[in-house]
């Protein structure tokens, strides 16, 4: 077998996706018009698959902050945080993120993926154990695999499964990291975080929560699921991303443990990655202020999520979870999901197609992510498009 022969299977997957029309992996957005609309293939298209939960990508204060930073500090740092890439603004954002959660320490990474890899690489090593939710994001799996720690999966959102795994570890339990998410990005289900915190307390483990999709969405301040449930004093490390509610790119970790600042000396993804450019840091700081100052954005987001969830349920679709800003519509077979997704796009509605092995239970999904910027009329347009696509599916199979 030659080095490149492994791509034969990948080529077959690509060709299958492209065989019947537009491929979901080849969508090019010609122009973004607003937080909820874009030009795709020259057509005005409603965006319902962006994770732009609070709609802050076009916020005037965020844009102005970015412009100012570009003028003052240039386009990039050209170095890692450990070399020449730590600017005052990076430090200020870290302080502001920590204060947002009421924690003493914060740390900024160049992407959310790097935040997960970087923190897990610093936390775990040979002799340690990590208990990972079965549906955890790929970045969490990747981060755990690079550490040399013993990796065990427990059943998704199942505290009893976690507890049984912890018991089997015996004396190693207090050298164990429990890794879960707040809001799961594929099905839109929410972690039973209080139950996981109880297991953490019982065995003396540490609890690591990825709030990538729940930060800005849950909590009185928008601090995520741990804040909403009053668990900030029982969670050891919270990681998140800037690319969802904060509308930019980057990642962070906050903690009440004094060891977090030491991650800077032990985290290879932090040490060897260029730091975020000044304009990104500036827009992120402005967005963080918006999250704290504008709770009405969360109110509108949840109103829109409930409206779409109820509408799709009334049409008879099977959904992945209770109402949340992530709404997954179960489609069964892969080809049926692909054709349905293509019909929605042809109707001017962009969603996310999720196929195995990216889906948790091997099914195929059409996934929507709702934003605070969507109007009632736009939610109704999405519902009409789903209704029409379903009718076409019936016609095609009859």
Give the pLDDT score at 142. Answer: 95
Q: What span, in angstroms and rounded, lies between the C-alpha atoms of 217 and 226?
A: 11
In tens digits, the chain (398 residues) has pLDDT values of: 799 988 888 888 777 777 666 777 788 999 999 999 999 999 999 999 999 999 999 999 999 999 999 999 999 999 999 999 999 999 999 999 999 999 999 999 999 999 999 999 999 999 999 999 999 999 999 999 999 999 999 999 999 999 999 999 999 999 999 999 999 999 999 999 999 999 999 999 999 999 999 999 999 999 999 999 999 999 999 999 999 999 999 999 999 999 999 999 999 999 999 999 999 999 999 999 999 999 999 999 999 999 999 999 999 999 999 999 999 999 988 889 999 999 999 999 999 999 888 788 888 999 999 999 999 999 999 999 999 999 987 666 55
pTM (2 decimals)? 0.95
Q: What span, in angstroms and rounded, lies between the C-alpha atoms of 236 and 228?
A: 16
Structural contact between residues 77 and 70, judged by C-beta atoms closer than 8 angstroms: no
Give the pLDDT score at 397. Answer: 59
- Domain 60-293 class? alpha beta
Give the pLDDT score at 15. Answer: 79
Single out the residue of 195, 191, 106 nearest to residue 159, CA to CA: 195
Q: What span, in angstroms and rounded, lies between the C-alpha atoms of 365 and 353?
A: 6
| Domain ranges across the chain | 20-49+295-397, 60-293
Q: In DSSP terms, which residues pair with 190 in a beta bridge?
A: 183
Q: What span, in angstroms and rounded, lies between the C-alpha atoms of 241 and 264?
A: 18
3-state helix, strand, coil in the chain (%, to 5): 45, 20, 35
Give the pLDDT score at 393. Answer: 74
Give the pLDDT score at 218. Answer: 98
Q: What span, in angstroms and rounded, lies between the C-alpha atoms of 353 and 361?
A: 15
Q: Which residue has the tokens 């050891």?
A: 236
Give the pLDDT score at 21. Answer: 65
Give the pLDDT score at 186. Answer: 95
Secondary structure letter of residue 124 according to DSSP? -
Give the pLDDT score at 398. Answer: 53
Q: Which residues contact 266 (CB under 8 A, 6 or more apart)?
A: 121, 122
* CATH, range 20-49+295-397: 3.90.1150.10
């Amino acid at each position: 077998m030659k080095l490149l022969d492994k791509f034969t299977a990948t080529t077959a997957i690509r060709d299958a996706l492209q065989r019947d029309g537009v491929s979901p992996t080849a969508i090019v957005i010609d122009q973004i018009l607003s937080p909820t609309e874009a030009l795709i293939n020259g057509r005005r298209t409603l965006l319902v698959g962006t994770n732009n939960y609070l709609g802050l990508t076009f916020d005037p204060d965020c844009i102005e902050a970015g412009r100012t930073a570009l003028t003052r500090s240039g386009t990039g740092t050209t170095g890692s945080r450990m070399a020449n890439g730590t600017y005052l603004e990076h430090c200020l954002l870290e302080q502001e993120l920590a204060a947002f959660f009421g924690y003493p320490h914060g740390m900024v990474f160049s992407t959310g993926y790097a935040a997960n890899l970087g923190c897990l690489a610093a936390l775990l090593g040979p002799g340690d154990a990590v208990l990972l939710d079965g549906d955890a994001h790929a970045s969490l799996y990747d981060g755990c695999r690079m550490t040399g720690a013993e990796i065990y999966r427990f059943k998704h959102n199942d505290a009893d499964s976690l507890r049984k795994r912890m018991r089997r570890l015996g004396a190693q339990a207090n050298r164990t990291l429990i890794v879960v998410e707040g809001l799961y990005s594929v099905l839109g289900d929410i972690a039973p975080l209080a139950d996981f915190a109880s297991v953490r307390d019982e065995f003396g483990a540490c609890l690591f929560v990825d709030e990538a999709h729940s930060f800005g969405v849950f909590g009185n301040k928008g601090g995520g699921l741990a804040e909403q449930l009053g668990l900030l004093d029982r969670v050891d490390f919270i990681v998140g991303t800037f690319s969802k509610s904060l509308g930019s790119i980057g990642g962070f970790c906050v903690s009440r443990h004094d060891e977090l600042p030491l991650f800077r000396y032990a985290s290879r993804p932090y040490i060897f990655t260029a730091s975020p450019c000044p304009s990104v840091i500036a827009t992120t700081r402005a967005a963080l202020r918006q999250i704290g100052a504008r709770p009405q954005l969360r109110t509108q987001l949840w109103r829109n999520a409930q409206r779409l969830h109820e509408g799709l349920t009334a049409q008879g679709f099977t959904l992945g979870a209770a109402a949340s800003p992530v709404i997954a519509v179960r489609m069964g077979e892969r080809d049926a999901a692909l054709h349905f997704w293509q019909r929605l796009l042809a109707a001017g509605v962009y969603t996310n197609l999720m196929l195995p092995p990216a889906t948790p239970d091997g099914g195929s999904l059409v996934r929507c992510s709702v934003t605070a910027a969507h109007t009632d009329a736009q939610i109704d347009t999405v519902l009409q498009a789903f209704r029409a696509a379903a009718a076409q599916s019936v016609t095609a199979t009859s």
